[in-house]
Structure 1
Amino acid sequence: MMFWDGNMGGWGYIVMVVSFVLFWGAIIAAIIIFARSMGAGNRRHEDSGNRAGAAENLLAERFARGEIDEGEYTTRLTVLRRSSGA
């Protein structure tokens, strides 16, 4: 048996609208967070930084072993840093 005769009143509508917005906001936020965590954009950025660092380390090792001279080392290091955006 309903004693409120089907009328929610002002507060009922306000609570309904707020809960609707919060529910769909949480769903959309979850989708965005999931998409960003699964996206390749972050991995590409991190991998390019790691590859550039590894390339610089390899170049420094070759310079230390005497395989390349100082001029070639600085030229190649400049090219590496320019291509990686550092």
Structure 2
Amino acid sequence: MLSALVPATATTVVTHPYWHGGGGPGFGWWVVFPILWFLLFASIVFLVARGARRRWQSGAAYGPPWARGNQTAIGVLGERYARGEIDEAEYRARLEVLTRQP
């Protein structure tokens, strides 16, 4: 009866592996599993974000404005001016024609 109440001694820990109740492993495995869960969660977030970005860049009608394309007449005129295809005077003249009220 007394032996059941006595804690494990060094001899018990050495002679019985940890899976038989004789102490734990030397490395803290409790640290590894939260890291693995974090990596799994981060991978899922990364893959979902990458898929959404690819959908936006495919030319679909939804997504952020910079990925939708600027296909209005004023937008095309602005892009041509930004690329240097037309000068400021021509840009302003064409913009006036486009924005004129009938």
TM-score normalised to structure 1 length: 0.48
Higher helix fraction: Structure 1 or Structure 2?
A: 1
TM-score normalised to structure 2 length: 0.42
Higher relative contact order (CA 8 A, sep 6+): 1
Could you say which structure has the larger radius of gyration?
A: 2
